[in-house]
Structure 1
Amino acid sequence: MAGNSVAANLLMVALIAGGLFAALSIKQEVFPEYELDIINVSVSYPGTSPEEVEQGVVLAIEEEVRSHENVDRVTAVATEGRATIVAELITGSDANKTLQDIKSAVDRISSLPDEAERPIVSLKSRRRGVLRIALSGEIEERLLYDLAVRVKNELTALPGITQIEMRGLRE
């Protein structure tokens, strides 16, 4: 037993009060809140190999995008007939101003091949994926597609759902 019960009781009350204060003041989140804006540059270059797309389109655009002060990271993909350059912006930067600056910089590139279509520059906000659903089964592909559309429509009707993407299927 404690030699001084008043001091022990005061210490216990102080610990409980401190615990309650901490429990009520700590911010709790299931999914941390974050903002990540990305700028996407897409260019169609019909009839070309990935190597030609990289040399003719990707390298020039990537250099212009990478040189912008508000760009944190750049990734580029060259596929048959298409180039996609994605720039992740520094958190807190002015995304709309950066978008305009990058549009202007891309429009000034004179070394793009004549056969390449005009680059499409767009701003997107990356959202955190919360749920992935995979549908598969030994049924006709059309029935599986119809089921996926039905699931998408039901999920879209729920409150708080802001975006749903369907991938990996033929329409």
Structure 2
Amino acid sequence: MIRYEIAATTVTTAPPERVFAVLDDFSNWPRWMPSLERVRIELPPNDHPRQGYRFKLHGMFVHAEMEVIDYTPLSRATRFRISFPPFQGINRCRLVPLDDGRYRIERLDQLELPDLVAHVIDATQRKRFEQLALEFLHALRRVVEQTPNGTITSSSPTGQSD
């Protein structure tokens, strides 16, 4: 098993409640999160995000099992297991208050790849993972700074409004 980390940061004017309202709204991830446009999200009925909360992502070729493992006022973390290529890891977002009233959003991805998968993923693919982490933070910042209550108001990918 080979492990590596990808870290990215940005600064936002949005308060933690707004940031986490967007992050915790799993059903709306495909509306703003890069590379999830064609992913269906399966949430448990009548349950709310918290530590231990589990849900699934279904793409055309990729499926993922997700579990919230950290749920605090300034951080969230999700453990994931991807079906193809098979690997697992943790995505963590932490907000750090700054002296000027803004917040630094820190994203840390910890990936655990089987040796065979790690050898196939070259430096180019790792750069792509790093780029996706930055795109994620920029998209998150854009959403939380443009919507006062942190909700997504665009229509769903199927063209239907929720």
TM over 0.5: no
Instruction: Give 1 or 2: higher strand fraction.
Output: 2
Greater helix proportion? 1
For the pair shown, which has the larger CA radius of gyration, 1 or 2?
Answer: 1
The two structures have a TM-score, normalised by structure 2, of 0.33
